Amino acid sequence: MATPFSNKCRVLAEVWYGFRDDETFAEFVKYNDIGLPLAYYVSGELVETLTDKGKQYIEETWEMLFNAFDLSEDVDYENLTQVFEYLNAK
């Protein structure tokens, strides 16, 4: 089962809010300077309407995170803690 868009936004928002100043994530955060804060705004219900282009930025950022963490399957993550738990179990 794939992670729903709202959960992708939540995970990405947690990455942006919690790790945007972390050197480990510096390159990822710099490259995704639109997708991460946009996911934060969506997750926090700070925007009511998201354009197709906005959704595309968030989906691309999710794919990059998925690949950066070398996640082998999308198991319907609800938050960043679950992503880290999955990584630790690998």
pLDDT digits 0-9 by tens, 6-51: 999 999 999 999 999 999 999 999 999 999 999 999 999 999 899 9
Residue 89 confidence (pLDDT) above 90: no
Beta carbons within 10 angstroms of residue 89's beta carbon: 6
Query: What is the dihedral angle through the alpha carbons of 61, 33, 83, 74, rounded to the nearest 10 degrees?
Result: 0
Angle at 44 between CA 25 and CA 62, to 5 degrees: 40
Query: What is the dihedral angle through the alpha carbons of 61, 65, 68, 72, rounded to the nearest 10 degrees?
Result: -120
